[in-house]
Amino acid sequence: MKTAIEKTLCLCLAALFCVFAVSCHGKRESSEFVIPREFDEAQEYSITFWAKNDTNKTQVEIYHKAIAEFEELYPNIKVNLRLYTDYGKIYNDVITNISTDTTPNVCITYPDHIATYRTGKDVVVPLNDLMNDKEYGLGGKRVKFDSPTMSEIVPQFLEECSFSGAYYALPFMRSTEACYINKTYVEKLGYTLPEQLTWDFVWEVSQKAAQKDSDGIYAVNGQKVMIPMIYKSTDNMMIQMLKQQGAGYSDEYGNVLIFNETTEEILKTVAENTAAGAFSTFKISSYPANFLNAGQCVFAIDSTAGATWMGTDAPLCDISEEKIIKFETAVMPIPQFDPQNPCMISQGPSVCIFNKKDPGEVMASWLFTQYLLTNSVQLSYSSTEGYVPVTIKAQSSDEYKDYLSRAGEDNEYYYDIKIRASKLLLDNVEHTFVTPVFNGSASLRDAAGQMIENVTKSVRRKENVDEDYYKALYDDVKALHRLDSAGLSGGKVKLGKLPEASRALIICLVAVWVLIIAYRIYDAVKKLRK
């Protein structure tokens, strides 16, 4: 009897050991990408490219053209394009696809988002070795097109793709924010635009523009609608206002510094101007361009990549022709607290590569990513909006210089406001900045914008916005965006439920121990009876 039980126990344990060994192996191996010695051009590769466009058909055409040209150079690589018009949707889809190992090969994204993708091991390919590879790297000998060298990429833009000790993306296009101004109204209100916009000036003019008569007609435009200042991206608004005042937002270690006195001062200014009818946001009212072009806004702050929607003669427009009014448009850097030391955000799409089991597939992705930096793609794509090319090679080309010099020749390709928006960034590259990238930086960015949105809504709803309100707002935003811990990236990590295999093992182990104890009791009782 005893031997039989012992044998059974041993068998159970052996079986459990096998199960354990299998479960430890995991469903899928992830391994670090290593550059193959040679890119096999006899091997067929099919890669997916998730790209973002600004609801701009020309951009879509450029993607298709770039793919066709690349496939002609590398007939063994097929690039499948999937188009998005929203960075947030790309981010959500990538997160979903990481867990099913169906990420795209190449993806247009933001560094903040890459930081989240990177929380999985070897999900995103670090590009340092690829960039420096003499054969297939930037400007490499065996690359079949005129790829830029590393030193031919604008250093500041390239650095924006470096975090956690490596480059995890290449910049694709760069933009900043601009203030699109109805200069006609500013002058009608008795003001002259200064050389550099200040927040004091913008708020003062906006409050004057908000004056209306007893019938609700605004003096400046003779209409019943006027929102003097509309900000498209309130997260950028908060981030830039903090930076301009040298106040805390976050640091590279993931410490959240945003809940400070300067933030409260900014929110109070937002509240005051909202109460005066001088300010609103895209989320609350609509696109700044729609109001600007209808003569219902004086200062519209939006990306330089939205320039083709701005102004009386804008090539892209969502409002009906009869609503558009004639006015002179000024394009200026965003308002500043210290005009002598201007500060503005650098933004725009970057491109990352997702790791795959087959290093050849990653190489195919890398070659295509490099192709996006060729002059052909850079010049054509940047001219669709107020973007600037990310390579010095493209920026210094005769073709680009010619393009910039012909602003205003027509209202399409040479649309004046679009080219002025690009020049704005080119003239201010040294004044741009980016926020630290870490796992959670995307949430912090959302929180920054939400505070402005909430205050604006509350004031419009005539709620009591006082000290207690701000305290409660901070608490709510911290909780909603999980910013409670001092450092997001170093905070407590929720590991989630135990894997099924681990749970099964624990149950089996408990069962085996129960059996052993039962056997010991049985043995003891047997001995006692003897």
Q: How far is the CB of 145 from another protein (least distance, A)?
A: 25
Span near another protein by CB under 8 A; candidates 7-15, 71-79, 329-337, 338-346:
7-15
Length of the chain: 530
Residues 6 or more apart whose CB falls under 8 angstroms from that of 317 comprise 289, 293, 309, 324
Return the sign of the alpha-carbon dihedral for residues 273, 276, 279, 284.
positive
* Residues within window 78-117 making contact with another protein, judged by CB under 8 A: 82-85, 95, 98-101
CA distances from 35 to 46, 126, 162, 358 (A): 18, 11, 20, 10
Span near another protein by CB under 8 A; candidates 121-129, 164-172, 254-262, 406-414:
121-129
Site track 12-51 with another protein (rule: CB under 8 A), x = hit = -x--xx--x--xx-xxx-x---------------------
Collapse the DSSP code of 109 into the 3-class scheme (helix H, G, I; strand E, B; otherwise coil) and give the result.
strand
The count of residues interacting with another protein (CB under 8 A) is 60
State the pairing for strand pair 350-353/106-109.
antiparallel
- Residue whose CB is less far from another protein, 2 or 144: 2
* Residues within window 278-317 making contact with another protein, judged by CB under 8 A: 284-287, 290
Helix-then-strand count for the chain, H and E: 19, 16
- Residue whose CB is less far from another protein, 498 or 525: 498
How many CB atoms within 10 Å of residue 521? 10
Q: How far is the CB of 159 from another protein (least distance, A)?
A: 27
Residue 362 CB burial class (10 angstroms; 0-12, 13-18, ≥19): buried
Site track 311-350 with another protein (rule: CB under 8 A), x = hit = -------xxx--x---------------------------
Work out the end-to-end distance of the chain between its first and last CA atoms, rounded to an integer number of angstroms. 16
Alpha-carbon gap, residue 370 to 131, rounded angstroms: 9
CA distances from 449 to 230, 241, 459 (A): 14, 12, 16
* Residues within window 457-496 making contact with another protein, judged by CB under 8 A: 457, 460-462, 482, 493-496
Using CB under 8 A, pick the residue from 18, 43, 46, 55 that binds another protein.
55
Q: How far is the CB of 497 from another protein (least distance, A)?
A: 6
Alpha-carbon gap, residue 182 to 292, rounded angstroms: 7
Alpha-carbon gap, residue 177 to 421, rounded angstroms: 9
- Residue whose CB is less far from another protein, 280 or 378: 280
Using CB under 8 A, pick the residue from 73, 217, 472, 516 that binds another protein.
516
Place of tokens 């005009």: 339
Enumerate binding residues for another protein (CB under 8 A): 6, 9-10, 13, 16-17, 20, 23-24, 26-28, 30, 53, 55, 57, 60-61, 82-85, 95, 98-101, 119-123, 284-287, 290, 318-320, 323, 457, 460-462, 482, 493-499, 502, 505-506, 509, 512-513, 516
